[in-house]
Amino acid sequence: MPRITLPDGSAKEFAQPVSALAVAESIGSRLAQAAVGAKVDGQLADLSTMLDRDCTLSIVTEQTRDKRPDPDALFLLRHSTAHVMAEAIQRVVPGAQLVYGPPLDTGFYYDIAFPEDRPLKEGDFEAIEAEMAKIVREDRPFTRYELPVDEGLAKLRSEGSKYKIDNAERAIAASTAGTAVAHNAVRLSWYATGEPGKNWEDLCRGPHVPSTGRIGAFKIMSLASSYWHGDETSDRLTRVYGTAFFSKKELDEYLHRLDEAKKRDHRVLGKQLRLFHIDDTVGQGLILWTPRGSIVRKELQNFIAAELKKQGYTEVFTPHIGSLELYKTSGHFPYYKDSQFAPIIERNTLDTLCAEGCSCAEMIHRVEGVSARLAAGINERTGAETITPDRVLPDDRLIEGFMLKPMNCPHHAKIFASSPHSYRDMPVRLAEFGTVYRWEQSGELNGMTRVRGFTQDDAHLFCTEEQIPAEVQGCLSLVKIIFATLGMTDYRVRVGLRDPDSNKYTGSKESWDKAEAACLAAAESLGVPFSREPGEAAFYGPKIDFVVKDVIGREWQLGTVQVDYNMGNRFDLSYIGPDNKPHRPVVIHRAPFGSMERFCGVLIEHFAGAFPLWLSPEQIRVLPISEKSLDYARSVQYKLASAGLRSSLDESNERVQAKIKHGSEMKVPYLLVVGPRDAESGTVSVRAFGIEKDLGAMPVDEFVTAAAEEYRNRGASTVAARFQ
RNA sequence: GCCGCUGUAGCUCAGUGGUAGAGCGCACCCUUGGUAAGGGUGAGGUCACGGGUUCAAGUCCCGUCAGCGGCUCCA
């Protein structure tokens, strides 16, 4: 006698078990027609699910009440389309073994092991889509059936797919783990596209839409590779990406959005607007800032430098390399050697080693070696065997060298240590636009967002433990000012906390508790959503990260604030406290932009290349109607330059229509059309980027003053607004 | 690093084993114009690089490098 509670709070009682579809029908035939699935007690389920006990039920339809696509419905649809695609692929490529095919936010994929002699090619897409279209036209129902574990496993073994057997074993383990469910009580489920035994089927937990005919529009998007279980030593699989919608119109809109996103891609715009260049001969992942891009970067740096001044930071400069001993002290070398450029060893040393017949292995051992003194000091101060005895070598065996710096903190620690400090002058805030180098894997490199050399807007705050909350707070408010000025509101915040079950962390439990509380309180006061991420802390302290999405939906970590209990010990840093005794400072690492490269990359996409006036490389372009107005145009440009504005003059032999088009293509904020009429009256005719019309004439001096004001206040007031 | 795809003029891209192409941009000439492309002429190429097959390779094969899409990684 199931009693079924509906979303509006009303309830229906049935004399015997009833399918979700039947309930929908009892509510209305139109609902039943629109239905693609059900939610039973909040769990997504098939429409055919039999309800045999009291539950809450909502019917999932293609659209929500406000006519928007229902995410649950799309989830079902895409999961089902993945099945249809898998069936089609197995028709086109016999012998393809299915592994795993889940839905995603924007579509779905299916990981498939193809026969070695018959890999899938993009050229196969057409044939596969044609097969898929047939299956959709046949409108075959997705039919679920279940088998007890042993019978199910036997079936899979007879079919011989190790991937599906593995999936089943994992499903069984998942449903018995930590529960009282007995192994043989578990049932495995299959979905046949049509009639079990006659039509194609797949081991699958479901749920699915009722039939293939519900799939309105689909497209195979791309091929990629993946590893079985994400393990790079395991089988290599081919991942086929696709997407599906209920209507062709929605699919077209989605594809159009993707196209638009591509046009905002910072790699495309960077070329088009001549902002930066990456040159093979210079090296992968190394950004050359062209004159235009350099202006954007410089404006951002000026902006942040001014904010730092307000917050009591002092600026420092440090070189791009440091000795290996520095990084042995900090702990960067050799623990992170896989993500660093190789050490720089002096030429004569190498020659001598070669002459001695020193082997590579021996050389590495000697380069990574540590003197007894340094090892003893670090071990004592960190209170652990941080440097193991096998790394300790006699001084005459050590090979010294240098390293491109992977981080700025060791240099800053040495600046702090270079003079004595009293608790009275804490915190010490050292800031530097410091360039660091990291050996990112070649496959990871991406435009400006993942590079091998980048400049952090870095700073290290050396403070007392009591000062941590206020300093963390200060860092976050800085990030907030920056993001607000740039209009970046769509970011999320992650607070990385320690893993309660691990003891890899340095620093006392009490210190951690306080620092984590400070980070959480600071994050809370920001007024934006944040997540707690246990286990995501650095080993030396908790951290707060700012994450922004790019136009293609990839997330990039930008700013970061990290509390560090380790560095003080490593570098034997101290300040004299009120008790006249030395104390260890805590160090806060922080970089609100993260790196200038990545930040600018994300910023290009954020503005779609149309920078606000203050950031724009070319703020104003003067367009004379003809050569006859050139002299007047030059006088206008002179006034702009005198007011500190960046402008250019279009002297080309084109008509003004063409000049406007070219200026718009370069996304110049203001175009000033000047002709005989303007020369006569001392005006300029203004066009603002994004407003596709002549705003009207304005006296030159008035424009110059207003534009200079817009520049100075970073867009708080605009010239364009004066015309509205 | 791994898998797949791609690499042709400064940019975007056509190109069927048989003479290297287009549009934009650039230079010059004509045009002197009022709000999103006026007209003409011309320059510009190691078809990523190296090897191979072939009478003949931008095109087919192998390798290398780079870019892209993913996977793995990211102090």
- DSSP type of residue A65: T
A693 CB inside 7 Å of strand B: yes
pLDDT in tens, A138-148: 999 999 999 99
pLDDT at A334 over 80: yes
- Residue A280 designated active-site: no
- Residue A271 designated active-site: no
Report yes or no: A458 and A507 within 8 Å, Cβ to Cβ: no
| Angstrom distance (rounded) from CA A209 to CA A76 | 6
pLDDT in tens, A259-314: 888 888 999 999 999 999 998 888 889 999 999 999 999 999 999 999 999 999 99
Amino acid A92 CA to nucleotide B3 C1' distance, rounded Å: 21
pLDDT in tens, A184-234: 778 889 999 999 989 999 998 889 999 999 999 999 888 888 888 877 777
Catalytic residue among A589, A598, A606, A621: A589
Amino acid A418 CA to nucleotide B37 C1' distance, rounded Å: 63
- Residue A365 designated active-site: no
Contacts 24+ apart (CB under 8 A), A91-99: A91/A131, A92/A124, A92/A127, A92/A128, A92/A131, A93/A118, A93/A120, A93/A124, A96/A120, A97/A161, A97/A163, A98/A161, A98/A163, A98/A164, A98/A202, A99/A163, A99/A167, A99/A228, A99/A237
Task: Give buried/exposed letters for A235-265 (b at 16+ CB in 10 A, else e).
Answer: eebbbbbbbbbbeeebbeebeeeeeeeeebb
Amino acid A268 CA to nucleotide B6 C1' distance, rounded Å: 16
CA distances from A245 to A74, A117, A135 (A): 7, 33, 16
Catalytic residue among A204, A409, A463, A475: A409
Amino acid A112 CA to nucleotide B59 C1' distance, rounded Å: 32
Q: Are strands A55-61 and A3-5 parallel, antiparallel or unpaired?
A: parallel
pLDDT at A181 over 80: no
A687 CB inside 7 Å of strand B: yes
| Angstrom distance (rounded) from CA A312 to CA A294 | 26
Q: What is the pTM of this model?
A: 0.88
pLDDT in tens, A352-386: 998 998 888 889 899 999 999 999 999 999 888 88
- Residue A543 designated active-site: yes
What pLDDT was estimated at residue A552? 67
ipTM at complex level: 0.93
pLDDT at A530 over 80: yes
pLDDT, mean of residues A474-488: 90
- Residue A409 designated active-site: yes
